[in-house]
Structure 1
Amino acid sequence: MKSQIVTFLIKCPDQKGLVAKITNFFYQKGFNILSCQQYVNSIEDTYFMRIRLNADGTNISKSELETSFLELAEPLQFDWSVNYGDKKQNVALMVSHTSHNLYDLLERFKEGHLDCNVKMIINNHDKLRHIAEMFDVPFYHLPVTKESKKQQEAQVIDLLDSNEIDLVVMARYMQILSSKFINHYKERIINIHHSFLPAFQGANPYKRAYERGVKLIGATAHYATEDLDEGPIIEQDVKPVSHESTPTTLKRIGADIEKLVLARAVKCHLNNQIIVSGNRAIIFPEAGE
């Protein structure tokens, strides 16, 4: 195997000797362990590990490594995945009217702060095409109505699959995705929304928040599931506000928080820092990488 960073994510029932067995396995295969992060959920009796390895100098192929690791994993009931770091993930951004998240992600991508390939922007309106042209990213206008929703989603899926998209980011795509769409990209769709849900759904949430005199503005990024905005939470943040804040200032503050939260969530996914367990996301911090 060529010199590269290999990342294993492991989830299994908690039991004695896991760290020793896992680290010894990689030592025996000639890997240098760069970091080993772990977490035990004592309530559910579940063990989680993220281990990063330097493959420099090893003489084992990917298939040999995975076959050999299975011999360790099966009796210990591992639910695991491996990323070899030799391929950037392909990302699609889906948007409707609002541009702040789109601008922010594209800027971070162009500056090299997101390790991926933004392959396309999909918009159910045609108003943000100029942003795609500004960043030289392919733009696809796929309008949708209540009557054409099924057909439009089929078009989107064909487009994503034909471009080998690894991650879909709903950067304020204001359409409800079908269960078929979501399950086709399970744990590969990230959504962003303000943290007023479920209290202030629909249009003008900041106006209604102002009328209620809220004292916190926040945003939540999560994996999309069939339960709309109730998927595993990846990132959240809040900022205190006061009675002096107007609906306009609340909206501006909310947009700033959304950008940061969404970018962090996307980065965590791209860096293989997340293990989903039920409806919870276990997020390992960056370990010096």
Structure 2
Amino acid sequence: MSTATLRLSCPIRTGISARVTAFTADRDCIIEEAQQFSDRRTGRFFMRLVFDPQANDIGSLREAFASIAENFEMEWDLREPGWVPKVVLMVSAFDHCLGDLLYRMRIGEINMEVPAIISNHPREKLTTSLIGDIPYHHLPITKDTKPKQEAEVRRIVKETGADLVVLARYMQIFSDEMSKHLSGMCINIHHSFLPGFKGAKPYHQAYKRGVKMIGATSHYVTDDLDEGPIIAQDVENVSHTESPDDLVAKGRDVERRVLAKAVRAHLEDRVFLNGDRTVVFE
């Protein structure tokens, strides 16, 4: 990839877009994609800019842009061309989301490197054949061993230099300490169209209510169970003829799609936290 990505958010003021685009123009950079949004409710401005830096050094661009960022009170980052994020994947017994993410990585659909897979189940319990030589960490967990297990997860995340942790149907609830530690860098897939049908067996809950559609929700992990800022959602139509098992089967498909969409958006710097909500540039 020959493009760099600038993402920023700041208080709403006049002249932000003009100043940012003038910065790239003055250095002969070529803008390939630009998106912005002003949220009057929160008073925040969001912008994502993809550009070809041409002959400019990224380090020099960062240094030059810092004064603009300070003037506008920006939270910002500038990704250099060729950046490959490191993503730690966590999974339990159901590995359809794990296999899907690994497949999309293998074919180049999602730009990432997976330095570790963590599971509370042994590898032989999983069905996917795409793990290959990726280091696999079997970390069993019980109520008594949870603090020690989570400390080991944090160690692996730190040592691998992970930019993101993805709960690809990891069916364990994080402690508040763990959720806070991974704040803003951990994505979960919930097998329900939140905020409805939270907790265990949401498809069975949906079946009992006779719903006509089911869905999945990908969100950031917070210490409020299944309440984190939502990144992506999708649904599948169902009918009265279908059993709970039918709903589970359909649910697997929508879970894969929604999690992949959320992970890709995050890794492409398309997602901005905005209080309890998100701004997602498609």
Give me the TM-score of the superposition, normalised by structure 2.
Answer: 0.93
- The answer on 1:18 being equivalent to 2:16 is yes
Name which of 156, 160, 163 aligns with 1:159. 156
- 1:134 is displaced (CA, Å) by 5.1
The DSSP-based 3-state class of the residue aligned with 2:169 is coil
User: Which residue is equivalent to 2:165?
Assistant: 168
Moved more, 181-190 or 14-23: 181-190
Unaligned runs of 5+ residues in structure 2 are none
Alignment of 1:22-171 (within 5 A): 22-58=20-56, 60-62=57-59, 64-126=60-122, 127-128=124-125, 131=128, 135-171=132-168
The DSSP-based 3-state class of the residue aligned with 2:223 is coil
Q: Post-superposition, which runs of at least 4 consecutive aligned residues in structure 1 deviate over 6 A?
A: none
Taking the aligned partners of 1:111 and 1:61, their CA distance within structure 2 comes to: 28
SS in 2 for 1:135: coil
Distance 1:202 1:34, change over 3 A: closer
Q: Is the 8 A contact 1:34 1:53 kept in 2?
A: yes
Alpha-carbon distance in structure 2 between the residues aligned to 1:173 and 1:85: 32
Matched pairs, number: 281
Match runs of 1:163-242 below 5 Å:
163-195=160-192, 197=194, 199-242=196-239
- Distance change (3 Å), C-alpha of 1:137 and 1:206: same
| CA distance 1:240–1:99, change in 2 (3 Å) | same
Distance in 2 (CA, whole Å) between partners of 1:192 and 1:35 is 28
Question: Which residue type is aligned with residue 20 of structure 1?
Answer: A
Question: Displacement of 1:171 after TM fit?
Answer: 0.6
Q: Please, what TM-score do these two structures have when normalized by structure 1?
A: 0.91
Distance 1:46 1:245 in 2: 45
- Rounded Cα–Cα distance in structure 2 between residues aligned with 1:123 and 1:140: 6
Structure-1 separation of matches of 2:75 and 2:187? 22
Query: Aligned-pair distance for 1:179?
Result: 2.9
Shift in Å, 1:183: 2.8
- Partner-residue secondary structure (3-state), 2:203: helix
Secondary structure of the structure 1 residue equivalent to 2:147: helix
What do residues 182-239 of structure 1 show as CA deviations (whole Å, max 9, x unaligned)? Answer: 3333211010012255654444332232121111100000111111211111100012
Q: Find the aligned partners of 1:229 and 1:201 in 2 and give their Cα distance.
A: 7
Report the CA distance shift for 1:203/1:18 in structure 2 as closer, same or farther (over 3 A).
Answer: closer
Of 159-168 and 23-32, more deviation after overlay is shown by: 23-32
Per-residue CA deviations over 1:70-113 (Å, capped at 9, x if unaligned) read 21111212121221133211111101111211111111111221
User: Which runs of 5 or more structure 1 residues have no equivalent in the other structure?
Assistant: none
Shift of 1:14: 1.6
Contact between 2:192 and 2:202, CA under 8 Å: does it hold in 1?
no
- Whether the 8 Å contact between 1:121 and 1:132 is mirrored in structure 2 is no
Note the aligned Cα RMSD (angstroms).
Answer: 1.9
Q: Which amino acid aligns with 1:32?
A: I
Change (3 A) 1:17 1:134: closer
